[in-house]
Amino acid sequence: MTDSLVDGRPTRSVPVDDRGLLYGDGLFETIAFHDGAAPLWTLHWQRLQRGADLLGIDLPDQADLIGDCRRLAVSGQSVIIRISLTRGSGGRAYWPDPSRPSRRIVQAREWPADLERQRQTGVVVVTSSITLATGSVLNGIKHANRLEQVMAARACANAGADEALLYDSSGCLSEAIASNLIVEFGDRAVVPASDSGVDGVGLAWLQDQPEVALERFRLSSRDLESATGMMVINSVSGIRPVRALDGRQLDVSHQCRAWQSLWNRRLG
């Protein structure tokens, strides 16, 4: 079974001078496909467009890209497809060659075996010591430089946790390693406002639902002391409740269960 395509061709290798490999000069999207379809495709494509425009990387034809994805998305199954878009090869050190084409890499991986358990019983979250830079021109896009997240994920795994909270350099809560955050204070649900992090597709979809009311403002670690609940959300895992934060037990709210039900009904 083919599980990876590079510029539409089955292979597991890229040239050693690919600028995504050398400099992280690229973007990526991680997309849930169910029975060959991606319910959130439009939002992923729009974010990829924004990132490519910012970095000045040529976008592939959308039909070619979704065609690659469907070649790897097994009919009747749920699968995760990762799209990587790099600036391709060529150039001199940091100076790219504008005449060279971009490179698209499409990979498939199995659906997480423990995802449904996490959705039901919740995840264990710790606070990371890694801080995210504020004011970067790259904020919001899914660029290929994720070393802060890699470092945070190593420490998270060593602590026996499922996810970790990341604050920005000004002390404001930003996001989790691979998810956006929703913090509950009783009936109020708050999305952290920060000058760092990724504009998540799953969160964007949830915010657009008429049944959902979300506020957005800056949160500090002290604010979280009065939080009654928390959710982590991304486009693959959906909404997962946090059952423990730094050893403190949190409740799974009726609101969380209602939004999970909404997600399942509309996205599968």
Domain of 186: which CATH number? 3.20.10.10
Is the distance from CB of 225 to CB of 245 less than 8 angstroms? no
Shared domain for 141 and 225, answered yes or no, is yes
CA dist., res. 245 & res. 230, Å (int): 9
**Cβ–Cβ under 8 Å, residues 230 and 182:** yes
- Residues 224, 250, single domain; the answer is yes
Q: How far apart are CA 228 and CA 243, in angstroms?
A: 11
Query: Do 168 and 252 have their domain in common?
Result: yes
Assign 61 to helix, strand or coil: coil
Please check whether residues 122 and 244 belong to one and the same domain: yes
pTM: 0.96
**Number of structural domains found in the chain:** 2
The answer to whether residues 153 and 70 belong to one domain is no
Of 84, 111, 138, the last residue of a domain is: 111
Q: Given the structure tokens 């928390």, which residue do they identify?
A: 230
- What span, in angstroms and rounded, lies between the C-alpha atoms of 36 and 78? 8
Do 104 and 155 fall into the same domain?
no
CATH code of residue 59: 3.30.470.10
The per-residue pLDDT for 97 is 96
Side-chain-facing half-sphere of 110: CA atoms under 13 Å: 5
Q: Domain boundary at 87, 111, 135, which?
A: 111
User: Do residues 24 and 129 both lie within one domain?
Assistant: no
238: left (phi over 0), alpha (psi -120 to 50) or beta: left
Q: Do 32 and 141 sit in the same domain of this protein? A: no
Judgement on whether residues 123 and 106 belong to the same structural domain of the protein: no
The closest alpha carbon to 139, from 161, 118, 170, belongs to 170
pLDDT (tens digit, 0 to 9) for every residue of the chain, 268 residues total? 579 999 999 999 999 999 999 999 999 999 999 999 999 999 999 999 999 999 999 999 999 999 999 999 988 999 999 999 999 999 999 999 999 999 999 999 999 999 999 999 999 999 999 999 999 999 999 999 999 999 999 999 999 999 999 999 999 999 999 999 999 999 999 999 999 999 999 999 999 999 999 999 999 999 999 999 999 999 999 999 999 999 999 999 999 999 999 999 999 7
User: Residues 6 or more apart from 87 whose CB is under 8 A from it?
Assistant: 19, 20, 25, 26, 55, 57, 96, 100, 102, 103
pLDDT tens digits, one per residue of 98-126: 999 999 999 999 999 999 999 999 999 99
Alpha-carbon torsion 93, 177, 153, 84, what sign? Answer: negative
Q: What is the pLDDT of residue 101?
A: 97
Residue 165: strand pairing partners: 127, 176
167 lies in which domain range? 116-267
- Same domain? 121 vs 63: no
Is residue 159 domain-shared with residue 245, that is, in the same domain? Answer: yes
Q: Burial, 257: exposed, middle or buried (Cβ in 10 Å; 0-12, 13-18, 19+)? A: middle
Q: Which of 62, 86, 111 is the last residue of a domain?
A: 111
Give the residue among 12, 19, 89, 82 at the shortest CA–CA distance from 48: 82
- Which DSSP state fits 77? S
Q: Residue 25: which residues within 8 A CB-CB, separation 6 or more?
A: 19, 55, 57, 86, 87, 96, 144
- pLDDT for the residue numbered 1: 52
Backbone torsions φ then ψ of 143, nearest 5 degrees:
-80, 165
Length of the chain: 268
Judge if 61 and 128 occupy the same domain.
Answer: no
